[in-house]
Chains A and B, each alone.
Chain A
Amino acid sequence: MSKVKTAVKIGALTMKNPVTTASGTFGSGLEMREYVDLRKLGAITVKGTTLEPRSGNLLPRCTETPSGTLNSIGLENPGVDVFVADILPQVAAYETPIIVNIAGSEITEYGRLAEILEKEAAVSALEANVSCPNVKSGGMALGTDPDLVYQVTKLVKEHSSKPVIVKLSPNVTDIVSIAKAAAEGGADGLNLINSVLGLAIDMEKKRPALGNIVGGLSGPAIKPIALRMVYQTAQAVEIPIIGLGGIVSWQDAVEFLMAGATAVGIGTGNFLDPATTMKVVDGIEQYLIDNGYDDVQDIIGIAWKNQRDGKDG
């Protein structure tokens, strides 16, 4: 038994430690079994699910940029029916809470997805993806408009008794107003940030490096953007935040907790070292022990309290 308390809550969802995965970087979890003890994670956030199967975008879908990766997958997935019938029961066997990321091309689809997943006891929470930069409709087009974010959130809440997390896009001028809209819509938590819209050029071929032209930047390159958004948003809303963006080590994770995140998500970090999630779980706990904390709650948002005033001189 752990000497320190590491459990956190996102609405009614209790995570035994503050570590989950970023949707789309961990498959359903099953693909990672060889490398990760899935029982050790606070929650598994699975690949985005849509009503119908999606085959995704043109290749190339991924290219590396300095300390980052630019991707444009396009929500490839087998559709919610296959997910529920074939994948979910296998993941549920690990008895770790499952957060299902849902994405629609129009608002009503979020309600339908929530309705379908409501029947599944193995689903612990829903994560409404209103921030995918790589699909033509839905996704980020919804997540950049506070009214639409409010509508999506409210609709999902109406169709679900499960905790609802809204995954926000960083590609907005004012993240706080979007976060507040989700909170007003009834969100139990927020997940930020999704990837940052970017472009890479293939100099040899003299054209954009990705088949979809633009893509979402992730990895350590976006960590400061994510930290800033978590820091500002966590002070402005009452609901908990799952912070993510460039976390590749436990130190990165502790920084997000200090910035005000209640939990953290590991994304691109899984590609560098498939055991990153477990190392972050252990690292956070060891940090708490080494620094005399007996509860992870003691460091959540601690950076605000210690911030110095920003006056000149």
Chain B
Amino acid sequence: MVEQGKILINEHVGKDIWRMELKAPWIARKARPGQFVNVRLSEHTDPLLRRPISLHGIDADNGIICFLYLVVGKGTKMMSKLENGDHLDLLGPLGNGFSTAFQGRRAVLIGGGIGSAPLYPLLEALKAQKKDVTLLYGVKDQESIVCLDLYKENQAEVIITTEDGSAGEKGFVTAPFEALLKNGGIDYVYACGPGAMLRAVEELTLQYGVDGEISTEANMGCGLGVCLSCSTPGKDGKNRKVCTDGPVFKMGELAYE
């Protein structure tokens, strides 16, 4: 479904990171944590393709959705220039989303950089089921830490790592993650972030005999499952479309080259 979302807030919240709230009742009602929206930034032909942006907030009651996005190229730069009251052409919600029903009580959510964006609606859904949640949040530096209070408001335990040591523990999320796994008691792991992080997290999770899901990304043409631009191999030899079979996959499902 294509919906014209009305921008309510579009604010700079951290290093190259923006947060946008939109009135988009149809998408807000339909969306699940881990799904994304394909955003059209020009009614002309440049930029041509829609940009897949994951849902950072889903408020069905008030008909509001939220994006947390990193300005990396032409499309996201245009997005950052939009003002309150402007409309944005939204196609979605797309993709499968996280499965929020796991056996057990305690989940670890791991977000690398802007990959933390889809974890917030997931946290809300898990908290609604009275699950215990630890968030591991890995970023480059202190300036890249955003929306921390949102997680704390939801009583998540938060562990921060920065590559330069300017906040939290110095290094990558994998060190504190392995420490948590060693302590035991973790029932499920969700991760979203750069490919190298996902691979390391997936390897550790499976090594410790825990189940989990990763949210991946790939260059997409359509977001609808027709162009096969994002088709990526699974361990069973069959390809998965990141846009419609994903972006969330079970840990151990995808093959790495």
Q: Which residues of A contact B (CB under 8 A)?
A: 24-27, 31-32, 34-35, 47, 55-56, 59-64, 66-69, 71, 73, 76, 219-220, 248, 268, 270-275
Contacts and interface: CB of A to CB of B under 8 A. Distances in A.
B239 A56 contact: yes
Nearest to A67: B45
Nearest to A248: B45
Nearest to A210: B219
A64 B49 contact: yes
B2 interface: yes
Given A25-B226, A55-B239, A61-B228, A67 B46 contact: yes
Contacts of B232: 59
Contact of A63 (B1, B219, B228): B219
Contacts of B233: 55
Contact of B228 (A67, A68, A73, A220): A73
B48 A64 contact: yes
A198 to B, nearest CB: 14
B228 A272 contact: no
B48 A24 contact: no
A27 B225 contact: yes
A71 B45 contact: no
Question: For the complex, would chain A's binding face be called helix, strand, loop or mixed by DSSP majority?
Answer: loop
Given A66-B46, A73-B229, 16 more contacts: A27-B224, A27-B226, A32-B226, A47-B228, A62-B220, A62-B221, A67-B45, A69-B49, A69-B221, A71-B229, A73-B227, A76-B228, A76-B231, A220-B48, A248-B45, A275-B2
A61 B226 contact: no
Residue from B1, B49, B229 with most neighbouring chain A CB atoms (10 Å): B229
Contacts of A73: 227-229, 231
Contacts of B2: 35, 273-275
A270 B91 CA distance: 12
Contacts of A31: 224-226, 244
Contact of A271 (B46, B49, B228, B239): B49
A26 B2 CA distance: 17
A118 to B, nearest CB: 26
A271 B2 CA distance: 12
Nearest to B91: A274
Contact of A62 (B1, B91, B229): B229
Given A31-B244, A271-B50, A61 B229 contact: yes
B222 interface: yes
Residue from B1, B49, B221, B239 with most neighbouring chain A CB atoms (10 Å): B221
A172 B217 CA distance: 36
Residue from A55, A220, A274 with most neighbouring chain B CB atoms (10 Å): A274
B1 A272 contact: no
Interface string B191-233: 0000000000000000000000000001111111111111111
A270 B232 CA distance: 22
A66 B227 CA distance: 19
Contacts of B229: 60-62, 71, 73
